[in-house]
């Protein structure tokens, strides 16, 4: 199972190097500050987070994040202040 994530990380449960055929793996995307998770792509194409995939082959999955308002400025009391 190969995971790509830019703007966050992905937690796998169980977290191990190799999975058996038919094994279910839970994936949870965690956004870095200033980003938000929007979807999965690759072998898993959905917007649910966390998501579960059943291993039928060697899968490649990308966690897609977008920059939120805090990525371009700081948020204080709901007000965006430009850098």
Spans of the chain, pLDDT less than 70 = 69-83
Please give the pLDDT value at position 18.
93
Please give the pLDDT value at position 22.
96
The sign of the torsion formed by the CA atoms of 41, 43, 44, 45 equals positive
Which residues, including other chains, have CB under 8 Å from residue 66's CB and lie 6 or more apart? 7, 35, 36, 38
Please give the pLDDT value at position 81.
46
Residues in the chain: 83
Peptide bond into 50 cis (omega under 30): yes
Distance CA(25)–CA(54), nearest Å, equals 6
Q: What is the reported pTM?
A: 0.78
């Amino acid at each position: 199972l190969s995971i790509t994530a830019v703007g966050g990380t992905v937690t796998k449960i169980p977290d191990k190097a190799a999975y058996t055929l038919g094994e279910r793996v839970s994936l949870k995307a965690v956004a870095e500050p200033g980003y938000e998770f929007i979807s999965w792509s690759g072998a898993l194409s959905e917007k649910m987070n966390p998501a579960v995939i059943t291993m039928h082959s060697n899968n490649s999955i990308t966690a897609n994040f977008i920059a939120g308002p805090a990525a371009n400025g700081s948020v204080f009391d709901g007000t965006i202040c430009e850098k």
